[in-house]
């Protein structure tokens, strides 16, 4: 009886490991075309002028 119970636990543990591995591989796969580099554009918002440079504040301009 012990041998049958241990075999069942071993099969269950093996199935759980396979399931977790499959989920991890699927999660790390990412969407198709993920190997392309994305380009981003940085925009400056507002007119800062000399504000913040060498202690000059916006009021002193």
pLDDT tier for residue 59 given thresholds of 50, 70 and 90? low
Spatial CA neighbour of 51 closest among 43, 60, 39: 60
Written as six digits, the tokens of 5 are 């119970």
In this prediction, what percent of the chain has a pLDDT beyond 70? Answer: 48
- Residue 51 inside a domain? The answer is no
Q: Is the pLDDT of residue 40 over 90?
A: no
Q: Is the pLDDT of residue 31 over 80?
A: no
Number of domain units in the chain: 1
What pLDDT is stored for residue 58 in this prediction?
58
Structural domain that includes position 10: 1-27
- Residue 42 inside a domain? The answer is no
pLDDT tier for residue 14 given thresholds of 50, 70 and 90? very high
- Residue 11 inside a domain? The answer is yes
């Amino acid at each position: 009886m012990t041998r049958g119970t241990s075999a069942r636990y071993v099969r269950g543990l093996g199935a759980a490991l396979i399931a977790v591995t499959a989920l991890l591989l699927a999660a790390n796969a990412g969407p198709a075309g993920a190997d392309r580099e994305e380009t981003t554009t940085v925009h400056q918002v507002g007119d800062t002028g000399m504000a913040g440079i060498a202690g000059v504040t916006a009021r002193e301009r």
